[in-house]
Structure 1
């Protein structure tokens, strides 16, 4: 409970022995007992919360010309102490703040102290950016993978550069300096890789430059955290991360493994783009090889190449979601990874929760797989796990998503085809659908994109390349008396 406090009046007069009279001076009051308007100064006194169970010296301030001024400041101090709301630790912190405030210095604003108390930070010192970000991350109730990503941005990039800056002093220039430091470190890594000194090259082994996409995600993490500091905690009023400018990331465009691209790859090992797509012939060659050499994984890869499922959607597919009699399946969950731990959860977006029709080849493959799975169960007997997953190991356990990717990479190398990633097989499915006559909206719905714009941004250039191939094939069908190509 906050003490009431009291007001008093004192002066600097001294007695005959030279001692100050203080509140005992007879001139402080008139003959009628009222306070003199021209002699002495007003002050106040209030008991502070206990410190470690022991009584503190009271807080005293004097020197006010008017009683109203002293009363007003006493009222403000009582209000600040009341913000502790009965919490001894907070009350002690506010008392320390008041005790250490120099006479003549304005008291902290009530709303500022209230914001700090509500945010769970000390009201006695400036909130540092690093301390706020660390507590913000701990308090966030978000997807584990997102939390890991936020933590990496804060730990590896943000805190090393701006953790020491008081949160309310953080400005755009601080963030510009941070991103400049990241760029400088990138240059150091690249220069060290090219160094003739093996010791210098070894110093950056395993270290990668921070790419444009990561830069954008770092900015997004900081912007989100500072928005929460504004809206939820009222610690600041300005978000510098919303105003700092960084170079936009340019997404790699998918390219097709044309005959010319394959020839160059075989000669130099270079890929035209980080994201590559097989032709239907190349995809068919891969499926033939996979069916002959790895029947365990073949049905999953065939389903991805035909219907464009994500890796987590294939590995997380449940038995009850597959109806081979009607050639339909439901996609609502995925088996994803947090670190290396596999976690079953819902797909990220509403658009990702969808129904898909199955083609006749996929139905045949999945029927054969179910028959094979039934034989595994008979052989395993009681050892078979009580699994609800559609694609499982011979012991009934679900496949780890990372293992599915690793096996895909090995099969691509083994069959001698130009390389693509497992996720690129999803891009293959999109191009095959387009070549078969599907429009952009159908492709978008099949892939589970949240908007058709996402589909257009990813595939426009790729589908134009497919269109060019179709145009060439169509033109070749026209009978001509002369041969324009030969003449050219």
Structure 2
């Protein structure tokens, strides 16, 4: 007698037309189970397909018995792919695009029936409703979701990859001049977060990296700190995570950073004594009066307030990274070194700054052509 498959493993039977079919109960994107049929010209071919379905079911991978709609797939993808593998900030951003744009405008479309034309129409509507930048980001989210569906063999092609995202004009960043930067630091010197602004300007550290810096990662004697984590607030939760690149990076400290951090440590020790039993020891460099991490929004508000007090043009705190890169490149620091200091994941990000600054150097160099090519009398 042929060995019978265990319950739930399905069976292979021969059809009247000579082909073979197998039926297996498989999980659906909505959490239910349904019977899935597969077919083959031979018993072995059909049994191989049956085994694949059983293995997918054991791993909890959804195998729709019909063409799943985006209303079913996108929430499943967010929960089982994005939430499990990506940072919370990424999950929050993707969830926003799914909730505000993808589900309302494409939710009724099936994964297999979605066409490039549908995607183009969708992007046009989002660009009109919001902006080209938002449409481009929604395109990226859709492309990622469909790539996951391809890997799960729910669809055979990713139609989002066949459609070009909208072109976005990058916002021109105009960092402060060296004189304006000095003016800001002079104005901020008495502020409790002065050392944080020094790190942002001199080292180009991100806001989350500054707030997530711990004293255990700072060595003022050897003049080095290690950027290991960042603190973010997402969906009302303040939490620590790895850096944007996921890597730790040691950064040598200029003397201005060492002096600012020594002064800040003295101020924090005084705050600890004043708080007494209310102090919560978290180990963070920048804290509230009771030891808790500084809110990211409060750091930005202080930066804006001090900028206005100094009478300086309005810039984002994040633009201090661009200003830092500009000063480093203008000083002759190689792009690869600038990339390591700023923690860029790709050299192309650094080269955008490098090219911007190099234009001034090129203009100065080509200015000598007038002298070199001037006719001799």
Task: Sort the TM-score into its range (normalised by shorter chain).
Answer: 0.7 to 0.9
The yes-or-no answer on 1:376 pairing with 2:271 is yes
2:110 alignment partner, one of 143, 166, 170: 166
1:137 alignment partner, one of 58, 75, 78: 78
Contact 1:342 1:401 survives alignment (8 Å): no
What is aligned with 1:285?
Answer: 183
The yes-or-no answer on 1:226 pairing with 2:146 is yes
**TM-score with structure 2 length normalisation?**
0.80
1:244 alignment partner, one of 159, 163, 170: 163
What is aligned with 1:210?
Answer: 131
The yes-or-no answer on 1:365 pairing with 2:273 is no
Gaps of 5+ in 1: 5-48, 50-67, 98-108, 187-208, 253-272, 476-488
3-state SS of paired residue (1:392): coil
Matches of 1:143 and 1:278, distance apart in 2: 32
What is aligned with 1:179?
Answer: 123
Gaps of 5+ in 2: 9-13, 38-45, 369-377
What is aligned with 1:420?
Answer: 315
Structure-to-structure mapping, 1:231-380, within 5 angstroms: 231-232=151-152, 234-252=153-171, 273=172, 275-292=173-190, 295-349=191-245, 353-380=248-275
The yes-or-no answer on 1:120 pairing with 2:41 is no
What is aligned with 1:432?
Answer: 327
Contact 2:123 2:166 survives alignment (8 Å): no
Contact 1:128 1:163 survives alignment (8 Å): yes
For residues 301 and 85 of structure 1, do their structure 2 counterparts lie closer, same or farther at Cα, with a shift above 3 Å needed?
Answer: closer
Shift in Å, 1:417: 0.8
Higher mean alpha-carbon deviation, 214-223 vs 300-309, is at 214-223
Shift in Å, 1:389: 0.6
Contact 1:431 1:463 survives alignment (8 Å): no
What is aligned with 1:405?
Answer: 300
Higher mean alpha-carbon deviation, 356-365 vs 435-444, is at 435-444
Matches of 2:213 and 2:26, distance apart in 1: 52
What is aligned with 2:16?
Answer: 70
Contact 2:27 2:61 survives alignment (8 Å): no
Contact 2:26 2:35 survives alignment (8 Å): no
2:347 alignment partner, one of 441, 448, 452: 452
Shift in Å, 1:301: 0.5
Contact 1:121 1:127 survives alignment (8 Å): no
3-state SS of paired residue (1:168): coil
Larger RCO of the pair (alpha carbons < 8 Å, separation 6+): 2
